[in-house]
């Protein structure tokens, strides 16, 4: 208790130095927390976009489709499968999708297209494309309805209500065509999405693949990405049908998972360098603080305080600076991140409305996210670094001879 | 009974390139309850001898026995323990802890000794009263005069009821009136509580109060007079 009291008073004694050290820790932490906030915000954005555009939190596909992307590897008669998943996750949205590559043709000419055939109602609940319609409406039960990107509409020279033909050939027999009427035009702000993506009714699959009720993917969309793994293993237990792959979001979007991992590691390295710089600053402060009190520490030794007690006192000073600095940094970091979380960071001037990464269109309006486990981990690490910085000065004290220490000026 | 028994103690220092013989085989024995003064010019070795008797420094050779403990056989932790429980120190520059009040400075040793709160409070208050600092308990050292600070130092030295108080030039920074008052205080503590005092000083006022005067020169004792 005595050493705790002394440690606290020593910090208060040179208040200006203590405040500067606290600020060094807290500002370092704020920079890290801001980075973390944007980092995790961008991860959430990437995952949400990927999940809603081409995957789900649980994805069921034909075995091997994930690797081969062979259009004829379809799921058939998926009613029972959808029903099982909906019963298992009553609040989730179950989507059905088929991914068809081919040519969309108008009187003006052709355009390469990735047509995503979907159930209009369920897809409409989770689709980011639906919210980006600039003309017309979202697809409906009409087998001819299709929404296309603004660049594609320009290439094809079509407007709402006009006809376009989708043509593809997947087996060795004959080329198949399906007639569409443009129901809506979207603009995502990404060249790839606006030039090549189209959403249509699932009816096109029967025409092109010559298979009834066929599709490539049944996906479960949950409220929280963190439920994905648990929901995936639950689904694996429920689906008895053989020849199917049941994947979590990161298995269905491995490129995004990889990007996040690489980004996390490179950011971790930057944060480590920052932490070392802050720790060196604290070490310098602690050394100065011990050095200028050498005489006083000698007196404490002379009147009977044990070297170990003095060392603990200095370690406690490091710990207190670390804890207070971390708490301050956490509070300031929370406040600094708040506008990023609520209002977002508008990068549209630099990047356009959105950008493409790993086959997914991601908004350039970046919202931050509080990732509490990381925030707390960094705050605890700052406190530990600060305490560790006091180890060397504390060790020096154990080597002090009272008479030499008291002679120190 | 001897509380201090020093035999053939030698101590040398390296000063630049040459060696300084601070103590050249000193023998000294001090009985319980003595009020002894080590006299001598600067560099005569009195402070070095005081530091060795207080366990603040170690002898190169010879034996040092204080309150029945042979210092050459003790670890630094054990020496700390003896300083805490059996010795008190008063330094020329007061050496109070600047962040602590007069009360807390005097209380410090008792806290280290593990004394309970009630007994501690009673002991600190009575000690501060004895040194004439009643009503100044909450003042920090920076808020006290030199004489008052040295009184706090004396209070800290005697609060733990040590067997021996070692005082190095305790009056050097004080005016004549304050010096006389402080000497009287320590003499009184010696008479009342039978605390042994050993001073290193060249202040004649302290010497006049002493029961025994040991004079040193060039690291040796040249005279030892009892009064």
Q: Give chain A's contact residues with B (Cβ, < 8 Å).
A: 2, 6, 9-10, 12-13, 295-296, 299-309, 401-403, 406
CB-based contact A6 B112, cutoff 8 Å = no
Within 126-165 of B, beta carbons closer than 8 Å to A belong to 156, 160
- List, for chain A, all residue ranges whose pLDDT scores fall below the cut of 50: none
Place of tokens 């050993």: B198
pLDDT of B3 higher than 90:
yes
pLDDT for position A172 = 64
Separation in Å, CA of A383 to nearest CA in chain B: 25
pLDDT for position A396 = 83
Q: How far apart are CA A348 and CA B68, in angstroms?
A: 84
A321-338 core/surface letters (b: 16 or more CB in 10 A; e: else): bbbbbbbbbbebbeebbe
SS3 label, residue A3: helix
Contact status of B74 with chain A (Cβ, < 8 Å)? no
A contacts of B85 (beta carbons < 8 Å): 304
- Nearest Cβ partner for B77 among A295, A303, A306: A306
Q: How far apart are CA B140 and CA B99, in angstroms?
A: 7
ipTM here: 0.88
Within 93-122 of B, beta carbons closer than 8 Å to A belong to 95, 97-100, 108-109, 111-113
Contact status of B2 with chain A (Cβ, < 8 Å)? no
pLDDT for position A10 = 81
Q: Considering chain B, what is the average pLDDT of its residues?
A: 91
Closest CA to B145 of B175, B186, B113: B175
* H-run or E-run covering A146: strand A145-149
| Token digits of residue B120 | 């501690």
pLDDT of B202 higher than 70:
yes
- Residue A60: partners with Cβ closer than 8 Å, 6 or more residues away: A75, A81, A85, A217, A218, A219, A235, A239, A244, A245, A246, A247
- Nearest Cβ partner for B80 among A12, A295, A306: A306
State in Å, rounded, how far the first CA of chain A is from the last one.
Answer: 29
pLDDT for position A184 = 97
A contacts of B106 (beta carbons < 8 Å): none
CB-based contact B83 A304, cutoff 8 Å = yes
Separation in Å, CA of A17 to nearest CA in chain B: 16
A contacts of B81 (beta carbons < 8 Å): 304, 306
pLDDT for position A409 = 64
Q: How far apart are CA B2 and CA A179, in angstroms?
A: 117
Q: Please state which of the ranges A164-168, B72-76, B116-120 shows the lowest mean pLDDT.
A: B72-76
pLDDT of B8 higher than 90:
yes
Task: Give how far Cα A155 sits from Cα of A158, A196, A254, Å.
Answer: 8, 10, 32
pLDDT for position A273 = 87
Q: How far apart are CA A118 and CA A120, in angstroms?
A: 6
pLDDT for position B121 = 95
SS3 label, residue A197: strand
pLDDT for position B168 = 92
Closest chain B residue to A301 measured between Cα atoms?
A: B80
pLDDT tens profile A285-338:
778 878 888 888 888 899 888 888 889 998 998 899 989 999 999 999 999 999
pLDDT for position B39 = 93
Contact status of B184 with chain A (Cβ, < 8 Å)? no
Q: How far apart are CA B198 and CA B212, in angstroms?
A: 10
Separation in Å, CA of A28 to nearest CA in chain B: 30
Mean pLDDT in residue range B121-128: 93
- Nearest Cβ partner for A302 among B89, B99, B111: B89
SS3 label, residue B38: strand
Q: Please state which of the ranges A168-172, B41-45, B158-162 shows the lowest mean pLDDT.
A: A168-172
Separation in Å, CA of B212 to nearest CA in chain A: 26
CB-based contact B111 A2, cutoff 8 Å = yes
CB-based contact A302 B83, cutoff 8 Å = yes
Query: Which alpha helices (H) appear in chain B, and where do they start and end?
Result: 46-53, 76-86, 102-113, 117-130, 146-159, 176-193, 204-209
Interface probe with A: pick from B80, B109, B116, most Cβ of A within 10 Å? B80
pLDDT for position A162 = 96
- Nearest Cβ partner for A296 among B87, B97, B111: B97
Place of tokens 């630094």: B76
CB-based contact B80 A299, cutoff 8 Å = no
pLDDT for position A244 = 92
pLDDT for position A377 = 87
pLDDT tens profile A205-244:
988 888 888 999 999 999 988 899 999 999 999 887 788 9
pLDDT for position A152 = 96
pLDDT for position B55 = 93
| Token digits of residue A209 | 């693949």
pLDDT tens profile B127-156:
998 888 889 999 999 999 988 998 999 899
Question: Backbone phi, then psi, for A114, in 5-degree steps?
Answer: -105, 105
Closest chain B residue to A9 measured between Cα atoms?
A: B99
pLDDT for position A159 = 95
Confidence of residue B164 (pLDDT cuts 50, 70, 90): very high
- Nearest Cβ partner for A307 among B76, B83, B113: B76
User: What's the helix, strand, coil split of chain B in %, to 5?
Assistant: 40, 30, 30
pLDDT for position A198 = 96
Please count the other Cβ atoms lying within 10 Å of the Cβ belonging to residue A268: 11
Instruction: Supply the DSSP symbol for A251.
Output: H
């Amino acid at each position: 208790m005595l050493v705790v009291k002394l440690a606290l008073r020593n910090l208060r004694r040179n208040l200006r130095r203590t405040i500067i050290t606290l600020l060094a820790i807290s500002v370092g932490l704020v920079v890290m927390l801001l980075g973390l906030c944007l980092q995790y915000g961008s991860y959430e954005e990437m995952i949400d976009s990927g999940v809603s555009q081409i995957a789900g939190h649980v994805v069921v596909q034909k075995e091997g489709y994930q690797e081969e992307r062979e259009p004829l590897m379809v799921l058939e008669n998926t009613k029972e499968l959808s029903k099982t998943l909906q019963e298992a996750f009553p609040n989730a949205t179950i989507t059905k999708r088929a991914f068809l590559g081919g040519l969309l043709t108008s009187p003006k000419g052709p355009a390469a297209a990735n047509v995503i055939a979907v159930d209009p109602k369920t897809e409409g609940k989770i689709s980011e494309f639906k919210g980006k319609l600039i003309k017309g409406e979202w697809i409906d039960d009409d087998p001819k309805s299709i929404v296309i990107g603004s660049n594609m509409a320009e290439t094809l020279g079509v407007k709402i209500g006009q006809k376009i033909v989708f043509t593809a050939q997947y087996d060795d027999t004959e080329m198949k065509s399906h007639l569409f009427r443009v129901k809506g035009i979207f603009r995502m702000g990404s060249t790839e999405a606006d030039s090549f993506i189209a959403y249509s009714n699932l009816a096109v699959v029967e025409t092109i693949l010559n298979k009834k009720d066929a599709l490539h993917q049944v996906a479960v969309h949950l409220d929280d990405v963190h439920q994905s793994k648990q929901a995936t293993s639950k689904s694996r237990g429920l689906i008895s049908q053989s020849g199917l792959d049941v994947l979590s979001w990161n298995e269905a979007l491995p490129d995004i998972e990889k990007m996040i991992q690489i980004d996390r590691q490179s950011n971790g390295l930057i944060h480590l360098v920052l932490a070392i710089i802050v720790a060196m600053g604290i070490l310098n402060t602690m050394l100065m603080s011990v050095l200028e009190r050498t005489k006083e520490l000698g007196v404490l030794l002379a009147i009977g305080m044990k070297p170990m007690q003095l060392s603990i006192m200095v370690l406690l000073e490091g710990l207190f600076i670390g804890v207070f600095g971390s708490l301050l940094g956490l509070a300031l970091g929370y406040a600094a991140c708040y506008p990023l979380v609520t209002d977002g960071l508008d990068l549209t001037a630099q990047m356009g409305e959105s950008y493409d990464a790993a086959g997914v269109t991601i908004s350039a309006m970046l919202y931050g996210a509080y990732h509490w486990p990381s925030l707390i981990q960094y705050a605890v690490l700052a406190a530990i670094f600060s305490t560790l910085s006091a180890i060397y000065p504390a060790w020096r004290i154990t080597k002090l001879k009272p008479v030499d220490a008291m002679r120190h000026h | 009974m001897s509380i201090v028994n020093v035999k053939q103690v030698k101590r040398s220092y390296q000063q630049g390139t040459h060696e300084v013989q601070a103590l050249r085989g000193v023998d000294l024995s001090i009985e319980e309850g003595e009020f002894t003064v080590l006299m001598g010019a600067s560099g005569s070795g009195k402070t070095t001898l005081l530091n060795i008797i207080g366990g603040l420094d170690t002898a190169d050779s010879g034996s040092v026995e204080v309150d029945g403990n042979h210092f050459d056989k003790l670890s630094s932790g054990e020496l700390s323990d003896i300083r805490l429980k059996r010795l008190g120190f008063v330094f020329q520059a007061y050496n109070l802890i600047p962040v602590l009040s007069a009360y807390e400075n005097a209380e410090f040793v008792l806290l280290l000794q593990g004394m309970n709160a009630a007994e501690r409070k009673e002991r600190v208050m009575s000690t501060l009263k004895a040194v004439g600092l009643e009503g100044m308990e909450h003042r920090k050292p920076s808020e006290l005069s030199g004489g008052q600070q040295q009184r706090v130092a004396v209070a800290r030295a005697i609060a733990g009821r040590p067997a021996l108080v070692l005082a190095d030039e305790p009056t050097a920074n004080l005016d004549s009136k304050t010096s006389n008052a402080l000497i009287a205080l320590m003499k009184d503590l010696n008479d009342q509580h039978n605390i042994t005092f050993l001073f290193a000083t060249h202040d004649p006022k302290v010497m006049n109060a002493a029961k025994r005067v040991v004079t040193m020169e060039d690291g040796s004792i040249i005279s030892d007079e009892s009064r």
